[in-house]
Amino acid sequence: DRGAALVLVTHSREFAERASRRLVLSGGVLTPA
């Protein structure tokens, strides 16, 4: 289903942004380019 796929992509994108943001706040070695 295209709708479900779109929701999944949007959710994973928000999760990635949230994870990277948390990594930066924690002073992790990995930082977004």
Which residue, among 5, 7, 9, 12, has the nearest Cα to 20 in the 3D structure?
Answer: 12
Give the integer Cα–Cα distance in Å for 18 and 24.
10
What is the pLDDT confidence band of residue 11, given thresholds at 50, 70 and 90? confident
Give the integer Cα–Cα distance in Å for 25 and 5.
30
Determine if the pTM surpasses 0.85: no
Quote the mean pLDDT of the chain.
80
Q: Which has more pLDDT, 23 or 30? A: 23
Sign of CA dihedral 30, 32, 19, 3: negative
- What does the pLDDT average to over 10-33? 76
